[in-house]
Each structure stands twice: as C-alpha cells, then as structure tokens.
Amino acid sequence: MKKFILISLLFSTVTFVFGQTFTQSGVVRSIDGEELIGVSIIVKGTTKGTITNFDGEYSIQVNPGDKLQFSYVGFVMREITSQVGKTVVDVEMAPDQTTNLEEVVVVGYGQAKRLTMTGSVSSVSVREIQAVPTSNIQNTLTGKLPGFFSQQRSGQPGKDASDFFIRGISSLNDDGNKPLIIVDDVQYSYDQLQQINVNEIESISILKDASTTAIYGIKGANGVLVVKTRRGETGEPSINLRVESGLQTPIRKPVFLNSYQTALLVNEAYENDGLISEIPFSTDDLEAFRDGTDPYGHPDVNWYNEVFNPVALQGNVNLDVSGGFKNLRYFITGGYFSQNGLVKNFSDPLDAVNTNYFYRRFNYRTNLDFDVNDNLNMRLDFSTRFMNINEPGSMNATGEIYNFERMTPYSAPVLNPDGSYAYLDTKDFRPTLNARLANEGYKRSRRNDINILYGAGYKLDFVTKGLSANLRMAYSTIDENFRRVSRGSSGYPTYKFHPDAVDPLDIEAGYYTINPNQVYAYSTYGITSGVDQALSDLNIQASFNYARVFNINHDVNAMLLYNRQSRTHENSASVPNNFEGYTVKTGYKYKNKYLVDVNLAYNGTDRFGKDNRFGLFPAIGLGYTISEEDFFPNETVQMLKVRGSYGLVGSDAAPGDRYLYRQVYEMGGGYYFGENPQKYDSYREGAIGNNNVTWEKAKKLDIGFDVVALNRLSFTIDFFHDIRYDQLVTRYDIPLILGIGVSPVNVARTQNQGFDGSLGYQERIGQVNFNTNLVFSYAKNKVLYKAEAQQRYPWLAETGKSINQPFGYKFIGFYTPDDIALIQAEDSNAPAVPNTDTPVQAGDLKYQDLNGDGVIDDFDKTAIGKPNLPTTTLGWTIGANWKGFSLSLLFQGSFDYSFSIVGTGIESFKSQFQPVHQKRWTLDRFNSGEEIDFPRLTTIPSTVNSAEGYMSDFWLINAWYTRLKTVDISYQLPKRNLPAYINSMKFYANAYNLFTITNYNKYQQDPEIRTNSAGDAYMNQRVFNLGVQVSF
C-alpha cells in the first residue's frame, strides 16, 4: 500500500513555481520518532504537492501563507501554514486513533477496509494493548472493543485470564456461549489463546454479526475473536527489545477482625443461641486478647498478613527481529514472562520446596514468508510456548484464610516460642497455614504448546486475472503435565505450647505437646506426576480466492474454502472431534458506494448423528456509503455509511456427552456376590439418545451506522437483535416415571439484543495531540422458551427471565421483637416463619411470604436481582502526547449486574469475622437505630440467616464498578540524543487496575469475582510496571 501511494504520487505530482516562493523542507516523523516514508504533502486548494522520501524528508516550493496538508494513511492529517523565513519545518504526525477511513481490519479468512465493510467488527491494534501489564490477551481487551464483555475471576498467576463473551450470552448451555477463537485462520482454544504473548500479535478483531461470522457456520454463533500475528516486511532488519518489570499488589486486601473483636462476636453468638453455659471466652480471656499480654495462650494473629506479602514481582522481556530480503520476509520473536505469587517464602532452605504461586512462560515464534517465484509464495509459522504454573499442593491459601472453621485469629500463634510450628486448637488439629505452606509441597504444571502453520499461495492469473489458490496446514499439540511434591499433613511435627504448664524436665521452655495426628520426625516428600492435557489438532484448508476490479467501479471478490479439522484428546478415550465444511464468501462493491456481501457456509461436526451433522449457514450484508455519492458534501462529513446484515449461524457446543444421539450403556457400581465377596460388573442404560440432536442456531440481525466528521470525530453504532433457537437443553417437563435420563433436545429459545459502538474524537491543541474514545456495549437477553414445567406459582418461572437469573427470597427487614412476640402468640397477624427447626429470633432475616401460606419455603423464591454478567460495559480511553511524552488512560466500568457471596466468604462461623459483622443486628443497635448490615449472629449453620441455605436479595448487591484499568506514561527519547545504532528508545511506566470505585465494599471482594462464590478466589492484582523499549 505504501509503495502504491508512493509511486502514484510521484508520477502525479506537478510542481509549479510562483514569485516570492521559497523552498520549505524538513523531516516528517511519527510521534514515536520514526521517519515516515511517502507522506503526501499538498498545498491546500491546489494540485501542487510532493511526498516524503525514504528518509522521511520532503522539500516543496511554497508561498508564505500557503496551507500545507500533510496526510498519511493511519495518521491524523496535519495542516501547517508556511511562513517566511521558516525554511526548515520538521513535522510530527500522530497516529489516527479514530477517523482513519483507510483502516484495514482483520476478518475471517482475510482483511477488509472499514470503509467498505458491511458487517459488524471491532478491532484493536497491538499498539493499543501492549501497555497493559498482564500476561493474558483477554485481559488487555477489556474496555477496548465494543461488544466485548469480560470478567476476571481470579488473580492467581497463570490462572488469571478473564472469561469473555461477545455481545453477552444467548445460550442456556455454558459452553454454548464461548466465542470461537481464530489465530491466523486456525481455531484455538481458550487456554491456547491465553498462552500467546501480546508481542506476537499484530491486531485483534471481534466479529459480531451474521455477515462476518457466517463463514464459520456451525461454530460462529457466539461471535469470533480473530487474531493476526505479526509478519516481516521487506527492509532493513529491525530489532526491538522490550524489558519491563512490575510490582503486583492486591486490588483489595481483606480486613479481618482481631482476636478481641472476634471473641466478643463469638460470645455474642453463643448468647444469642441461648448457649449461655457454653460461652467460650471468659472476661479474663477477653482481657488477654485485648491487651495482648499472653501471645501464646491468647494469640492474636492476622493470618493474611502472616501468609501474604504486600507485593510480588513480575517481569517481561521480549526481543523481536523483523525485516525482509527481496524474496524472504521474517519475523522472529522470543519472550519471557514471569509472575510471582504473593505467598511468603516459607520453604525450608535445606530442601527449597517452593510452595508459592508463580507463573513462568517462554514464547517463541518465527513467521516466514517466501516468494518462490512471481506466482508462488509460501509461509511457515512456527511457534512454541512453554509454561510453568506453581501452586501450593494441598490448599488454596486465600480460601484457608477465609475459612473460620479452619482457623481463627486466636487459634494458634504463628510460631511457638522455640521456633517450632504450632497447630490449631480445633477438632481436627490442623497445622497452622504457615506450617502447611512450609511442609506440604506444591503442584507444578508444565505445559508445552507447539504450533506449526505451513501455507502456500499460488496466483492463477493465467487462468483468470485475480484468481489465486491457497493451501494451509496447521498442526498444534499441547502437552500439559504436572508434578506434585507432597508431604501429608501428618508427615511433620507441630506442637502446642502450654505457657502455664510446668514441665519438670524443662522449666524455662514451658511445655510442648505434639499434634496428636503427627509424628516427631519429618517424613520424606512423595512425588507424583500425571497428565493434565494431551491434545493434537490438525487443520487443513484449501481455498480459491478471487479479487478483481472491473472498469474501476466494480469491485468483485470471492472465496471458496474447504476446511477440515480434527482435534484429538490423546489422554481420554474419546475419538477425535472432527469438523469439516465449505465456505463461500462473495462481495461486490460499486464505486465503494453500494456494498453487498453474501456469505455461505456448509459445514458440520461429528458431534451429531449422521443425518444431522451438516448445516447451511447463509448471511447477507448490505451497505450504502452515502458519503461516496457525488452530491454529498465531504467537507464536514467525511464518511456516512449505513449497513445491515442478517443471517443464520450455528453453535455445535452441546452439554455433556459428545454422543448425545446414541444411547450408551453405562457401567454401574458393580455388585458383590459370594461368601468371599467378588465384584461382579453391572451395567445399565444410559440416557436415552436423541436421534435428532443437532446444532443450535442463531438468527442475527445487525444494523450499523458509521460516521466520520470534521476529520476528528468518529462514531459507530450497531444495533443487534439475535434469536437463538434450537438450543440444546435437558427438558424439565419430562416426568421421572420415564425411568431414565434423557439427552438434551433442541427446543430452547432465547433472545439477545442491544447495541454497541464507539465515539472517538481527536484534536491537536498547540503541541499536544489529544484523542479520546468511548466504547459502549449493552446486551440483554431473555429466555423465550426452555421446556420448563408449568410452575405452581408464576414467580417461580424462569421463562421470560434472563439467562442465569438468580432466584431467592425477598428480604423485607429483620424480625423485630414485636414480630417474635406475635409468632409466639400464634397471632394471625404474625409474619411468616421459615420451615426450619431453629425458631426464628429477633434480628433474623425476614422474607416475604409470596404465596401467603405462613411458611417461608421454596415456593416463596422468586427472581432476585440480575444475572452476574453485566449488561452494560463502558470503556473510556483518553490519550495525549506532547513531544516525546505520551499519556494514556483507560477507564472501564461494568454496570447492571448482581453479585452475592456465600459460605466462607461471609457467613458467620464459616467466614472470618469482618467489619461487616460488627454492623450486625443486636437489640441495642436496633433500638438505637444504628445501621444494620448483617443479621443476628448465630452459631447454627442452617438458619434462615445463612446465605447458602436461604439465598435472598439481602445478600445481593446490584453491582457496578468503574475502575482506572490502565494508565500508561511514556517518554520517547529524541533521536538526536541517541547513538546512531539505536533507532529509538522509549521509557514507560504503566499501571493496571489502579483504582476502583464500586458498591462492593460490604463484601471486601473484587467486583469481577464470580457470584455465589465462597470468597476464596486469589486476589485480583493491581500492577505497577516500568519498562524500556529499544529499537536497533
């Protein structure tokens, strides 16, 4: 493209010379300091112009006051007025973030110009996401792409990739909502994607509507994420080194109450339950907790602080070389990413068994393009990734700390006075967490990914002009195995120290007793290993491509593709997953004005029975670029386009067994017969096969508008309406008297609609380039039909609600002492009571009795709150640069969703006591009108106050958050300050998840954690990162 412009401009430029003219010259550079070749410079209002040469230099005859327009593909046009005496003017150009009409985006099996596209595609270039200091691509896309929804569920090194969805979800099957991932036209799995180093990537697109996804046919219904990796270009080798290192720290550190505060609440709970005689702590105990005078008898330990460091390191090094000779172009990169966990180092220096979390990854990629002759070109892409994930062998450290049944602030000292490990004074004598981390070993997963892509393209112009044939073969393998080094919890000694005991043998040391479950000697570690994943995947594609422009005005392109894929899980008994199909893609553009795309896929998978494997998926896209009309005034509005698409796509994800169409007999538990019992096998019928099982289908409608105005404003919006039908669900309306399980059937139907788009603006104010972009997405789904049985009460029905709508009780306040009096008097006005064994007391959660039968039971559950997936997400990028400095901020927010937490995350006596527990209901607090955020404390786990037993909207937060997702500040050193062999050098600092505003504070959790979780997810991380990038 650059070449083309260069040449055409060279020949079309005519230079006239006027009086008073002088020669203005200079160098045009990007704001990164790179010389720009082929920038066109035109004197406004004339045809006079020139272009920059290979060193970015220009020279032009001007009159004073002439307005020179500098324009270059992908950069913001600049206008400079020539002034007498200023003969040398260097010009700096900023990349066009928003209004680039020539922008090319990656779509399925090719690229498309945004100007002439009819489908709905969002894309992002690597430059925009490289600044995010995370190891996963998924995490870098948050807030950048309209229609992209993500939630990062955990911050554990190596396991912190976000769940993501394109335009929300529309399938009732969990797997049926996962977008298809395509890297260089080859399908990747989620975990393969998260292994890719951002530095290997050139651009990422998401395909959202039927017109762009129909070519993937049976796999396209959930949207497609398309990644294109970087390739070399002819030219001098360019060597690029990036070194960065960062500090991670939890976004939110949970606060737990100390021993004294906890003990008070524990006593109160016993008192509430009428267990006066069993109250565990005397006033002396409480006093000892409060003044800390007895650290061994009455410990006060903040286990979080004892186990976790406040910060952990991460680092990232990338080196890439790219360039090309006449016939060979290359891109070679290697990268190393390392992320440490927050757990302190407890390992014994003698054995150095490292139980901390960590993640290490090494990436390597070579992409080669080889022009064999004028017609034949070949490519070879080779990439590998090696990774290691380490984690403690027998526990989830966060979960342990939260779990009140496992440990409390007073359950044991961190270490005994003699330095030995202590154990917890509870029923199972569990050693302290630091002792377990020091002694119980690790699980280390090691994974190798190897991907080879071999391709050849042959121009068939001798058959007909514009025709070419392509062949591509991709092979990938994954081998993931683990090694576990472990020593059971009884394989090492821990002691209890009795400060008061008098030991006749050793008066000074007090008296130590060993954990009754343990031995005095340390046992050796046991080492086990196994295979987590072994997978091979072969993909073969053959295509004919045709692209030709007739009479300048008629632009025709077509593609016929044959594609087959076979994916084999080598460590499981199933046979390979096979996929096969044909794709036809055609496009016609008249003067870039009237646009038609017709795409068709005929493909299938062997997941379904012989007669139901193949489906035909057509889609049509239409576009009208009004701004290309002659009558259209292009001065203020550079582009105005209306486009729409409609089509059918499928999803072959099916729940459970792959062979839903067959009835398979299952092995039962066996049966023992005989005086000396011998096991005899038993078999029984498996679920009834569904002969008609087939793919889910989605009819997708998309209407979009693209506007570029004033050369600085751009606006895109897409409205969509999808009907997902023939969804595979297990029928809930089949009586159990059938006597057997049934395979899912294609009956459910949902609707998903919404809109997404972006609004961008850029401006140059003085020396400052400024740009901002707001990305918005809204998607709301509704279950239209799901074969649900007719419920006894309308509020129990899930049909008509959103997918994954939570159900529970409606909280209507706390039982008051008056309520309890009425209940005890069996008064007819008494509020309804739950169907539990423990009578309700004042301060318990009171729920609405929807069916009015006086009992709170399952029939009083109704839809509460919203699903956990936000319907609305926003991303707002603000960027500015001035000379070598640049600053970029990304605010990201998600809205309109619900979150709750249960079990060890919040419930009293299951979770550590937290500040919210201090806002519990007590009679005093109730009488004095204080804010009450938590029900009466109780020791009984199954009361109405349990979130697990009685989920209600009391526990739900109608959540939202806004966070400063990334901040990136960089400084590009002026080239003149650099040695000649260095092309450019940049220092940068960035931060990730810098601050968050949310209404989650009650639960001390990150707002992206999975709902109804036990609060034991590894803390999501905030990262501060420093780096340097050098190009040679």
Partner 1 sequence: MLNSKFFKAMKKNKYILSLLAIAVFLFSACTDNYENFPVDQFTNSYFFSKTDSMGVQVRQFLNSIYDLLPSGHNDHGGDYLDTATDDALSIKQDDPDVYKLLVGRYSANTRIRPAMEWSRYYEGIRQVNVLIDSIEVVPIILKFKNVDGEEKALNHTIKAEARFLRTLFYFELVKRYGGVPLIHDKIFKLNDDLELPRNSFEECIDYMVSELEDIKMDLRSVTMADNTEYAHAATYEAAMALKSRILLYAASPLFNGQTISTTKDEQKELVGYTDYDAERWKKAADAAMDFIESQGHKGNKSNALTKNFMAIFLSYYNKSSNPELIFFRQGGKSKTVETKNGPLGFSGNALGNGRTNPTQNLVDAYLMKDGKLRGESTLYPYNPQKPYENRDPRLDLTILHNGSNWLGRVLETNQGGANNPTGSAEYTRTSYYMRKFMGNFGATPEYSNNQHLWIIFRYAEILLNFAEAENEYLPAPSKDVYDAIIALRERAGIEKGSDKLYGLEPNMTKSQMREVIRNERRIEMAFEEQRFWDIRRWRAAEDIFSTPLRGMSIVKSLSSVTYTEVDLVNVVFNERQYLFPIPYSEVIKNSNMVQNPNW
- Interface positions, 682-701, toward partner 1 (CB under 8 A): 682-685, 688, 690
In 3D, which of 590, 588, 593 has the Cα closest to residue 628?
Answer: 593
Interface mask toward partner 1 for 776-815; x: CB under 8 A = -------------xxxx-----------------------
Considering only residues 940-969, where is the footprint of partner 1 by CB under 8 A? Answer: 941-942
* Stretch of residues binding partner 1 (CB under 8 A), selected from 78-86, 130-138, 634-642, 657-665: 657-665
* Stretch of residues binding partner 1 (CB under 8 A), selected from 305-313, 371-379, 525-533, 809-817: 371-379
Selected from 443, 662, 699, 975, the binder of partner 1 by CB under 8 A is: 662
Nearest-angstrom CA–CA distance, 399 and 267: 24
Selected from 668, 794, 813, 817, the binder of partner 1 by CB under 8 A is: 668
Structure tokens at 844: 């318990």
Determine whether 655 is exposed, middle or buried from the number of CB atoms within 10 Å of its CB (0-12, 13-18, 19+): middle
Nearest-angstrom CA–CA distance, 25 and 41: 11
Considering only residues 821-840, where is the footprint of partner 1 by CB under 8 A? Answer: 835-837
Residue closer to partner 1 (CB basis): 943 or 1011: 943
739 binds partner 1 (CB under 8 A): yes
Contacts 24+ apart (CB under 8 A), 531-534: 531/479, 531/480, 531/481, 531/571, 532/445, 532/447, 532/480, 532/481, 532/482, 533/447, 533/478, 533/479, 533/480, 533/569, 533/571, 534/477, 534/478, 534/479, 534/480, 534/569, 534/570, 534/571
| Nearest approach, Cβ of residue 938 and partner 1 (Å) | 13
Nearest-angstrom CA–CA distance, 117 and 103: 11
328 binds partner 1 (CB under 8 A): no
Selected from 54, 325, 522, 671, the binder of partner 1 by CB under 8 A is: 671
Buried b (16+ CB within 10 A) or exposed e, 72-85: bbbbbebebebeee
C-beta separation of 624 from 640 below 8 A: no
Q: How many CA atoms lie within 13 A of 457 on its CB side?
A: 14
CA dihedral for 662, 663, 669, 673, sign (positive or negative): negative
Strand partners, 454: 380, 473
**Ramachandran region, residue 291 (left: φ > 0; alpha: ψ -120 to 50; beta: rest):** alpha
Residue closer to partner 1 (CB basis): 785 or 859: 859
677 binds partner 1 (CB under 8 A): yes
In 3D, which of 1019, 954, 1016, 1028 has the Cα closest to residue 984?
Answer: 1028
Considering only residues 375-404, where is the footprint of partner 1 by CB under 8 A? Answer: 375-376
Considering only residues 409-448, where is the footprint of partner 1 by CB under 8 A? Answer: 427
C-beta separation of 810 from 864 below 8 A: yes
- The alpha carbon of residue 281 and the mean position of all alpha carbons in its chain are separated, in whole angstroms, by 46
853 binds partner 1 (CB under 8 A): no
Selected from 859, 882, 971, 987, the binder of partner 1 by CB under 8 A is: 859
Pairing of strands 885-899, 872-882: antiparallel
Selected from 84, 509, 626, 664, the binder of partner 1 by CB under 8 A is: 664
* Stretch of residues binding partner 1 (CB under 8 A), selected from 339-347, 570-578, 629-637, 873-881: 570-578
Selected from 16, 325, 732, 995, the binder of partner 1 by CB under 8 A is: 732
* Stretch of residues binding partner 1 (CB under 8 A), selected from 492-500, 524-532, 679-687, 974-982: 679-687
Considering only residues 467-496, where is the footprint of partner 1 by CB under 8 A? Answer: 469, 471, 473
Selected from 566, 612, 918, 1001, the binder of partner 1 by CB under 8 A is: 566
Residue closer to partner 1 (CB basis): 64 or 741: 741
Q: Which regions of 855-907 does DSSP assign to beta strands (E)?
A: 855-856, 862-863, 872-882, 885-899
Residue closer to partner 1 (CB basis): 682 or 824: 682
In the block, which residue shows the tokens 């091979």? 536
564 binds partner 1 (CB under 8 A): yes
| Nearest approach, Cβ of residue 543 and partner 1 (Å) | 11
Determine whether 857 is exposed, middle or buried from the number of CB atoms within 10 Å of its CB (0-12, 13-18, 19+): middle
Residue closer to partner 1 (CB basis): 727 or 1004: 727
Residue closer to partner 1 (CB basis): 576 or 655: 576
851 binds partner 1 (CB under 8 A): no
Nearest-angstrom CA–CA distance, 792 and 267: 43
In the block, which residue shows the tokens 């039908």? 725
| Nearest approach, Cβ of residue 574 and partner 1 (Å) | 7
Nearest-angstrom CA–CA distance, 94 and 29: 9
277 binds partner 1 (CB under 8 A): no
C-beta separation of 967 from 994 below 8 A: yes
* Stretch of residues binding partner 1 (CB under 8 A), selected from 329-337, 397-405, 694-702, 855-863: 855-863
- Return all residues near 272 (Cβ < 8 A) that are at least 6 apart: 841, 843, 936, 937, 938
766 binds partner 1 (CB under 8 A): no
Nearest-angstrom CA–CA distance, 434 and 412: 11
| Nearest approach, Cβ of residue 377 and partner 1 (Å) | 12
# chain residues binding partner 1, by CB under 8 A = 71
501 binds partner 1 (CB under 8 A): no
733 binds partner 1 (CB under 8 A): yes
| Nearest approach, Cβ of residue 338 and partner 1 (Å) | 37
Interface mask toward partner 1 for 448-467; x: CB under 8 A = ----------x---xx----
Residue closer to partner 1 (CB basis): 664 or 710: 664
Considering only residues 22-41, where is the footprint of partner 1 by CB under 8 A? Answer: none
Considering only residues 513-532, where is the footprint of partner 1 by CB under 8 A? Answer: none
Nearest-angstrom CA–CA distance, 219 and 821: 61
| Nearest approach, Cβ of residue 853 and partner 1 (Å) | 11
C-beta separation of 179 from 206 below 8 A: yes
Nearest-angstrom CA–CA distance, 816 and 932: 13
* Stretch of residues binding partner 1 (CB under 8 A), selected from 386-394, 411-419, 507-515, 656-664: 656-664
Residue closer to partner 1 (CB basis): 594 or 732: 732
Pairing of strands 833-834, 855-856: parallel
Phi/psi of residue 521, each to 5°? -95, 150
568 binds partner 1 (CB under 8 A): yes
| Nearest approach, Cβ of residue 680 and partner 1 (Å) | 6
350 binds partner 1 (CB under 8 A): no
576 binds partner 1 (CB under 8 A): yes
C-beta separation of 77 from 95 below 8 A: no
Selected from 857, 896, 933, 948, the binder of partner 1 by CB under 8 A is: 857
Nearest-angstrom CA–CA distance, 825 and 642: 70
C-beta separation of 841 from 807 below 8 A: no
| Nearest approach, Cβ of residue 857 and partner 1 (Å) | 6
* Stretch of residues binding partner 1 (CB under 8 A), selected from 38-46, 486-494, 645-653, 852-860: 852-860
Contacts 24+ apart (CB under 8 A), 276-282: none
Selected from 670, 813, 854, 974, the binder of partner 1 by CB under 8 A is: 670
Residue closer to partner 1 (CB basis): 675 or 931: 675
In the block, which residue shows the tokens 């490990």? 421
| Nearest approach, Cβ of residue 575 and partner 1 (Å) | 6
618 binds partner 1 (CB under 8 A): no
Residue closer to partner 1 (CB basis): 3 or 792: 792
Give the end-to-end CA distance of the chain in Å, rounded to a whole number. Answer: 25
672 binds partner 1 (CB under 8 A): yes
| Nearest approach, Cβ of residue 576 and partner 1 (Å) | 5
